Amino acid sequence: MKKNLIILLVATLLISCQNVKVDPSPMSGTINESDEKTAIIVKLAKAYEAGTFEEAREYFTSDGKHYFNSTVYTTDQIIEGYNFH
């Protein structure tokens, strides 16, 4: 009886996972490794690792506000901070 219950639960799990629908809308929260935004994040992460976060100026506005906890930084300050790391 215990074995049949386990088989039933596993079968239910497998069947239910096949019915997952992906919402293609931009605000769905679905991770897509080939979209433009992901490419930008990868590019900025590599720049941060190399200590050359100046590339962020291409994506950040000059009047942008960047928050770290409750402190507000300008775009220049946040880029300087990332380069300092």
- Name the domain count of the chain: 1
Domain interval for residue 74: 36-85
Q: Is residue 27 part of a domain?
A: no
pTM over 0.85: no
In a domain, 44, yes or no: yes
Across residues 57-72, what is the average pLDDT?
92
Measured CA angle at 43 (ends 72, 26), to 5 deg: 80
Interval 5-54: pLDDT, tens: 888 887 777 776 666 677 777 777 767 778 888 899 999 999 888 888 88
Q: Is residue 58 in some structural domain?
A: yes
CA 26 remoteness from chain centre: 14
Total Cβ atoms within 10 A of residue 67: 9
**Residue 11 covered by a domain:** no
